[in-house]
Structure 1
Amino acid sequence: MSSRDTITELIECYIIDNDLRPGDRLPSERDLCKQWGVNRMTLRNAIKRLSELGVVESKVGLGTFVAKPKIVRNLQDTLGSSEAIAAAGGELERIVVSSRLAEADKHAVRQLHVMLASPVFELTRVCIVDGERAAIESVIVNARDCPGIEGHDYAVESLYGVLREEYGLVATRGTERIDVCKLDEREADLLDYPAGTTAFFQEGLMLDQEGKPLEYFTTIAMPQRIVFGTELRPFSEGEGRWHVGHR
């Protein structure tokens, strides 16, 4: 085990043994180095690793603190983001980046099975979880199925709630995939992270109760705040655990 890994475990044990809670401050780097007999570079590497894992967070000029717990997003549910985050015990705020009607391009045609240049609704929002910017959500919806959908305030209203209550459309099933990406300059600015920071990339297509495409979505989620989980189940003979996909 490397020195960094050893110190990483010591920090985690310190948090547990001292019953530290989210927001509690760890001792100074100087005190920890003296306590464990390590150099400051090794300690900083361990803190950086724990910061990447979302265990601690460092604040310039203030020190290192126990991080808030992550939101676990269940990949098997069909909840909207507000319902999913509430179910996971988080508090959600949103900033609307763009909300507009547009003409379907080839990508929207392929995903939503609509005619080229037919009206679609495009919505992009930044999700703030427990006071911290955590994700960018972008969706495309067939506007012909829900006239007037652009006239809502999606900073406070749930898109799935509007689809359900105003138009009788409910997401019942869908497909999605998860990958990793690096934040570009625009994404980094919206999420208040450095450009090049690693993030989760999620995209998928949700179907309504009649099996018609309802919503194509992409999400860029910060692993410091959101992780993805699922429930394992037995699979039938002939099923495989892996399949070939296309980007």
Structure 2
Amino acid sequence: MDYRVPPGVEAIEKLQNFIKVNRLTANTRIPSERDLCEMWGVRRSTLRQAVDTLVESGELYRVKGAGVYVAVSKLVRNMSGADAMIDELMQQGIPMSKKIISARVIEATKQISKRLRIPLGRKVYEYIRVREVGHIPSIMETSYIDCEQYPDFDKHYNNKTSMASLFRNLYHQEMVKGEERISITYASESEAGLLDIEANSSLFFTAGVLTNEENVPVMYYKQLLRSDRFKFVSMISK
């Protein structure tokens, strides 16, 4: 029995192959629908449906009155945690930098005390940072660390140091496991300004706790990630 690829699927494959073979980079305009239809001998409606599918999947994007363009490839956010993601991006050679927006000592709220398993009102360090990935503001992070358990942390942490290295080298602590929750939220005016996006743009929201070898919480964190820059994956093994 002969198997024939549906026209819509074939058109999608042709578009993807065209981008790959011609090495079209992000923000490059693809040929018009009419030109592609003539090139491949496909119906206009079939091609438009294929383009719509690739726009929805984030591989292409439309500019009203200007055509269809190749989208920026989304970065992979592995669900193994924030530090794992940062390490992976750096290993890929993607430029990474961070800027501390706010650093202060506050009293632990109910949520913070519950996550860090400390008394309500105990002093904690609060750090708010924006990470640039590939020179684009992409992640906003807020971290909470127990002042009593990690004294003088604020004297050592800055834009050039990493929290993981400080825990390891200064306090002889390794963040070995954790728990993370993921949801969708929308950018406030201030968040949008820091991430260089429109207010009310959709964002991935993650919150988690990292613990040491004795299962004692080391850090409680929250992240806002631009949904146009990231996708989430989960590695499954038997």
Percent identity among equivalent residues? Answer: 24
Matched, 1:99 2:107: no
Q: Which moved more, 1:185-194 or 1:70-79?
A: 70-79
- 2: distance between equivalents of 1:144 and 1:84? 32
- 2: distance between equivalents of 1:164 and 1:18? 47
- Provide the residue aligned with 1:228 in structure 2: 232
Aligned residue for 1:190, secondary structure, equals: helix
Which runs of 5 or more residues in structure 2 are unaligned? 1-7, 38-42
- Provide the residue aligned with 1:143 in structure 2: 147
1:181, 1:200 within 8 Å by CA — same for their partners in 2?
A: yes
The residue correspondences of 1:107-126 to structure 2 (distance < 5 A) are: 107-126=111-130
1:73, 1:229 within 8 Å by CA — same for their partners in 2?
A: yes
- TM-score normalised according to structure 2 size: 0.77
- Provide the residue aligned with 1:26 in structure 2: 29
Task: Classify 1:68/1:161 alpha carbon distance in 2 versus 1 (closer, same or farther; 3 Å).
Answer: farther
2:135 corresponds, among 128, 131, 135, to 131
- 1: distance between equivalents of 2:101 and 2:69? 31
- Provide the residue aligned with 2:217 in structure 1: 213
- Once the two structures are TM-superposed, the CA of residue 9 in structure 1 deviates from its matched residue by 6.3
Larger radius of gyration: 2
2:51, 2:60 within 8 Å by CA — same for their partners in 1?
A: no
Count, aligned residues: 225
- 2: distance between equivalents of 1:62 and 1:153? 47
Task: Classify 1:82/1:232 alpha carbon distance in 2 versus 1 (closer, same or farther; 3 Å).
Answer: closer
1:163, 1:170 within 8 Å by CA — same for their partners in 2?
A: yes
Task: Classify 1:62/1:144 alpha carbon distance in 2 versus 1 (closer, same or farther; 3 Å).
Answer: farther
Structure 2: which amino acid aligns with 1:182? Y
- 2: distance between equivalents of 1:59 and 1:93? 30
- TM-score normalised according to structure 1 size: 0.75
Structure 2: which amino acid aligns with 1:26? R
